[in-house]
Structure formats: structure tokens, C-alpha cells
Amino acid sequence: MNLKLKIWRQKIAGTKGKFVNYTVNNVSPDSSFLEMLDMLNEELILKGEEPVVFDHDCREGICGACGLYVNGRPHGPDNLITVCQLHMRKFKDGDTIVIEPFRARAFPIIKDLIVNRSAFDKIIQAGGYVSVNTGSAPDANSILVTKENAELAMDASACIGCGACVSACKNASAMLFVSAKVSHLSLLPQGRVEAKERVRKMVAKMDELGFGNCTNTGACEAECPKGIKLTNIARMNREFLKAAF
């Protein structure tokens, strides 16, 4: 496959960026999207040009590092995948592919396609954990949890914090991410002890960091690579109201 790439290049945060056109040839349909970018960077390095900077780590859809906007969609034209799991067979020979970073005030651009998503870490630090003594593994496993709650908690805990929900939302809301973290702890007995304090602190930190409000368009769920459900937002809202009263 021969492809035309239109990639956002920006030296550092706060500077003016622009789209730059590239071509990459002889791309295997079975290669991943990041492997295709590796091919481009190898060519640029051989020419003495600066390679395109993009974020990645596990390349197995686990870490959530590889956040890219591909042809107007977070993680590209496929469902329930991260961009490292996107394969070039989703494109056609001669296609033009537009690649840009996630856009959100709370995710400032570091360079080229990399954004700073430490805002998510700050939300977790505000309360996304269990600090009470729940005993050792045998003690914790002896606490009965209903099958429904166990499955819902497991589904919510699948969130990898990639930021696709924020980039897909017209308001750059982090409600799906925060609700997933609130849900997976509040559904379990070990997390109920601090449930009220947790939801208050995490929501307050989310607002402080500049994320927008949720208007229930569902774009976050549609683009989430792990299929996190909007019902988690409803659960978080209920938890927040209970905490307020």
C-alpha cells in the first residue's frame, strides 16, 4: 500500500503547529498503524529530518498510551481498539490519512502527537484508591460480593485511561473516565467505606483541571476502546448526590 499522511507537527507546547504532508510506500496491510509510523520515522531519520513524535508503550491495547486522532476519530476507523491495534487493512491504497493529537484544554500538547494526560493521574490521586485496611487477600476474598456487582466492577475497571472519551466529547468531559474509576470501587465492599469522600474529591479535581461538563451525547462510549458504558456516569451522579446530602 502507498499512503499519503497529513500529520500535525508542533515543536513544543504553546508554539504554533501545522499539518505536514508525507508519503509512505510499500506498507503491508497486516502491519499496525504504529508500525506504519515507525516506517515513516525510519525514512525521515535516514534523510536527516526530525522524526514524528508519538506516544506508545505496550502496543497491545493495555497501557492506553497511544492516543491519536486518526481521520477524525480517536484511535481511528475501528471500534473497541486502541490505535496500536489498528491495522492498515482498514485503509485503501492511495488513501490520505489525517493524524493529529487529542484536543482538550486539560491535555496540553507536549510535542507533535504527544499530549500531557497527567490530569488523569491527578484525579486518581485525589481519591481513586482504597486506603482503609481491608486485610490480606484471604480476608478480602471472604467478603461476599454479588455476581452482578462483581461483573459491573470488573467492566468498569477495564478503563485504561487513554483519554479517547475526553477527545471525543464536544465539551472535553472526563465524566466517563472518572465514573469508571468511581464505579469499580463503589460497587465493592472494600470501596464503600470511602465512597462519599472519594466521589466528592474526584469530581472536584476533575472540575478544577478544566474538563467540561457531560451533555450525554454518548460520543465517549462510542469511542472508548474498552467499551465503558454511560451507565457508569449515572452511577457516579447518584453517588455524588448521596455524598452531597
Strand 69-70 versus strand 3-9 pairing type? unpaired
pLDDT above 90 covers a percentage of the chain that reads 91
82-132 tens-digit pLDDT? 999 999 999 999 999 999 999 999 999 999 999 999 999 999 999 999 998
| Residue 101 and residue 186 in one domain | no
Judge if 102 and 58 occupy the same domain: yes
pLDDT tens digit string along 157-185?
Answer: 999 999 999 999 999 999 999 999 999 99
pLDDT (average), residues 38-56: 97
**Do 123 and 94 fall within a single domain?**
no
We report the CATH number of the domain holding residue 45 as 3.10.20.30
Where are the alpha helices (H) located in the chain, listed in sequence order? 33-46, 118-127, 137-141, 147-157, 164-168, 175-186, 189-192, 195-208, 219-223, 231-244
102 and 129 co-located in one domain: no
> What would the pLDDT profile of 190-207 be if each residue is shown by its tens digit?
899 999 999 999 999 999
Look at residues 92, 111, 130 and tell me which one is the last residue of a structural domain. 111
Beta bridge partners of 212: 173
Do residues 90 and 127 both lie within one domain?
no
Residue identified by cell 493521574 is 121
Q: What is the distance of C-alpha 179 from the center of its chain?
A: 14
The model carries a pTM of 0.93
CA–CA gap between residue 216 and residue 61 (Å, rounded)? 26
Phi, psi of 156 (to 5 degrees): -70, -35
Q: List helix spans (H) across 21-174.
A: 33-46, 118-127, 137-141, 147-157, 164-168
Mark whether 75 and 141 lie in a shared domain: no
- Provide CB contacts within 8 A for 14, sequence distance 6+: none
| 141 plus 58 within the same structural domain | no
Residues 43 and 125 reside in one and the same domain: no
Q: pLDDT confidence of 140, banded at 50, 70, 90? A: low
Residue 183, classed as helix, strand or coil, is helix
The pLDDT score that the predictor gives to residue 56 is 94
Q: Could you tell me if 126 and 208 lie in one domain?
A: yes
φ/ψ (deg, to 5) at 15: -90, 165
- d(Cα 210, Cα 105) in Å, to the nearest integer? 7
Quote the domain boundaries for residue 40: 3-111
pLDDT at 195: 94
Residues 102, 132 within the same domain = no
Asked if 104 and 159 sit in the same domain, the reply is no
The whole-number pLDDT of residue 91 equals: 97
Residue 144 CB neighbour total at 10 angstroms: 7
How many helices, marked H, and strands, marked E, lie in the chain? 10, 7
Residues 6+ apart with CB under 8 A from 222: 168
> pLDDT band at residue 136, thresholds of 50, 70 and 90?
confident
Given 111, 136, 168, the domain boundary residue is 111
The reported pLDDT for the residue numbered 201 is 96
Do 25 and 100 fall into the same domain? yes
| Number of domains making up the chain | 2
Of 111, 138, 163, which one is at a domain's C-terminal end? 111
Percent with pLDDT over 70 in the chain: 99
pLDDT recorded at residue 137? 73
Residue 216 belongs to domain with CATH number: 1.10.1060.10
Tell me the pLDDT band of 245, cut-offs 50, 70 and 90: confident
pLDDT at 152 over 90: yes
Residues 54, 114 contacting (CB under 8 angstroms): yes
The C-alpha angle 169, 105, 174, rounded to 5 degrees, equals: 40
Give the least confident one: 30-44, 120-134, 227-241: 120-134
User: How large is the average pLDDT for residues 129-156?
Assistant: 85
